[in-house]
A and B are shown apart, each in its own frame.
Chain A
Amino acid sequence: MKDMSDPDGDIIPRIASGDEKALSLLIDRHMGSIHALCYRMLQDSFMAEDITQTVFLRTWQMIPNWQPGQAKLITWMRRVATNLCLDSLKKRGPLYTDSLPEDSDVTPNAVDSLVFADRKRVVAVAIEGLPTRQKAALTLTYYQHVSQKEGAEILEVSESAYESLLARARRSLKAALEPNRDDLLDMGQA
């Protein structure tokens, strides 16, 4: 039965019947977003890809038992991804470092590119230093554009607790980035 309230309701029954083309379509729709969520949480491309793969395989295995109308499939997938990332971060422990892997270059000029990369690294280190659940809330809101309700559902907390996680994350980030405030404001111009 198709669930029209779920944006993936059109392909869920096909995936449930083992249709690999439908799975391929689901991957096209959500792989980038799930990978981005994992990458933002872990700051590690390899781990992010491994967890993305696990999320899709779990979806493939679970979907024959999927109950339509309970939650959106993508919300469930984000929850699995977030929990796997939180588990991975717990095992890994905090990273006491001021250097993180560089993101891909988006500026045309070499000097600007270095400056930009340096500023991004400062922000990435500040995000990396956040407590894991605050980081998850920030990632979901800023890089997944999930609603307050969906974010709370993913982290399995109340909406007010989710709001509090976000506010604390932003406060911590502002404090951590304050010494570089002027440089960071130039990020768009660099």
Chain B
Amino acid sequence: MMTRDEFEKLIEAYGSQDDRWPELLKPDMDAFVQANLEEANSILQDEAPLDHVLDHMVTPPPTDLLKARILRQARTVNQSLQQDVIVTRYVTPWGRIAAMLLVAFAAGFGGAQFIGFSSTDIHEGPENLIVEIEQSSESEWQLAATELGMTEIYEWASGETVELTSLSDSGI
């Protein structure tokens, strides 16, 4: 048989409403109430106001969009999980290492190409550029001038090129 102290301790924890009493102890608690009606009622009445107050606390429902948000996120998670499964299922550990080495090699090769290309640009001096201008000029404007029969233009342009070359030689 349950004692008053035991009953009181349980009511202090679980309150006056018997639907919250522990399943296993409920028969003993009910028996205590039946056997000690007045005493039990006084203990229960002491705890009832708090239960009454707690029962009136209403929780607002979640927004309508929450379910849709969860399902959308779950789909995204599912897709990334499937990709992981494909990688783990169909690619052996050696295959993954080989793939990583290949990527590293490709990145290194690409990097080296980039550095090589940049360094060619940097080290080319102005003299080379002038030679380039001269060479391209000879093949383009000389032909055009000859075709048009403008020998004067040809001579003038030749003079300009000589002047440009002597300027670069003198370091200006």
User: Which A residues are closer than 8 A to B by beta carbons?
Assistant: 18, 20, 23-24, 27-28, 31-32, 35-36, 39-40, 45, 48-49, 52-53, 56-57, 60-61, 103-104, 106, 120, 123-124, 127, 138, 141-143, 145, 147-149, 163-164, 166-167, 170-171, 173-174, 177, 181, 184-185, 187-188
Question: Closest Cβ of chain A: how far from B166's Cβ, in Å?
Answer: 77
Residues A49 and B74 in contact, CB atoms below 8 Å apart: no
Residues of chain A with a CB closer than 8 A to B61's CB: 32, 35, 104
- Excluding A27-B67, A143-B59, 10 further A-B contacts by CB distance (< 8 Å) are A20-B71, A31-B67, A39-B60, A53-B66, A53-B73, A60-B78, A104-B60, A147-B23, A163-B13, A185-B49
Question: Does B120 count as interface, using CB distance less than 8 angstroms?
Answer: no
Interface string of B145-159 (1 = CB under 8 A from A): 000000000000000
Residues of chain A with a CB closer than 8 A to B20's CB: 141-142, 145
Residues A31 and B74 in contact, CB atoms below 8 Å apart: no
A62 to B50, CA, bound (A): 39
Residues B57 and A123 in contact, CB atoms below 8 Å apart: yes
Interface string of B93-133 (1 = CB under 8 A from A): 00000000000000000000000000000000000000000
Residues B71 and A187 in contact, CB atoms below 8 Å apart: no
User: Which B residues are closer than 8 A to A by beta carbons?
Assistant: 9-10, 12-15, 19-20, 22-23, 47, 49-50, 52-63, 66-67, 69-71, 73-75, 77-78, 81
A145 to B14, CA, bound (A): 11
Task: Pick the residue among B14, B62, B73 that contacts A35 (CB under 8 A).
Answer: B62
Residues A166 and B77 in contact, CB atoms below 8 Å apart: no
CB pairs A–B below 8 angstroms (29 shown): A23-B70, A23-B71, A24-B71, A27-B67, A27-B71, A31-B67, A32-B62, A39-B60, A40-B57, A45-B63, A53-B73, A56-B74, A57-B74, A60-B78, A138-B54, A145-B19, A145-B20, A149-B22, A166-B14, A167-B13, A170-B13, A170-B50, A173-B54, A174-B50, A177-B50, A184-B49, A184-B53, A185-B49, A185-B53
Residues of chain B with a CB closer than 8 A to A173's CB: 50, 54
Given contacts A61-B81, A173-B50, A174-B50, is CB(A35)–CB(B74) below 8 Å? no
Question: Closest Cβ of chain B: how far from A129's Cβ, in Å?
Answer: 15
Task: Pick the residue among B12, B23, B58 that contacts A103 (CB under 8 A).
Answer: B58
Residues B67 and A187 in contact, CB atoms below 8 Å apart: no
Given contacts A32-B61, A57-B74, A61-B81, is CB(A167)–CB(B9) below 8 Å? yes
A20 to B71, CA, bound (A): 8
A181 to B46, CA, bound (A): 12
Residues of chain B with a CB closer than 8 A to A127's CB: 57
Residues B56 and A35 in contact, CB atoms below 8 Å apart: no
